[in-house]
């Protein structure tokens, strides 16, 4: 995995918050904390996509669109992708 540097400007109050999280949650660095936030956001977006897919299938009157095995396979594919 290639790593690149990114500079972020924060107001003092946000920097103080990040510093508190580093101590409080045991992160080794601000970068570690930010990476964790990004991973959480990525997971949230994937969850929203899955919920949308499930809602579309539930709202569909077409029973063929509601294939439990297909959904299970999709879930497994997404889980392995992470």
DSSP-derived secondary structure letter, 44: H
Is the distance from CB of 60 to CB of 66 less than 8 angstroms?
Answer: yes
pTM of the entire structure?
Answer: 0.68
The pLDDT mean for the chain works out to 85
d(CA 59, CA 65): 10
The region of weakest confidence among 28-37, 38-47, 61-70 is: 61-70
3-class DSSP state of 80: helix
Does the pLDDT at position 20 exceed 70? Answer: yes
Share of the chain above pLDDT 90, in %: 50
Give the long-range contacts of residues 50-53, CB within 8 A, separation 24 or more.
50/74, 50/75, 50/78
The per-residue pLDDT for 11 is 98
The per-residue pLDDT for 63 is 59
């Amino acid at each position: 995995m290639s790593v690149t540097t990114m500079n972020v400007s924060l107001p003092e109050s946000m920097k103080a918050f990040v510093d508190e999280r580093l101590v409080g949650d045991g992160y080794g660095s601000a970068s570690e904390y930010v990476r964790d936030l990004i991973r959480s956001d990525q997971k949230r977006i994937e969850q929203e996509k899955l919920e949308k897919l499930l809602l579309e299938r539930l709202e569909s009157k077409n029973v063929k669109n509601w294939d439990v095995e297909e959904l299970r396979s999709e879930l497994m594919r997404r889980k392995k992708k992470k």
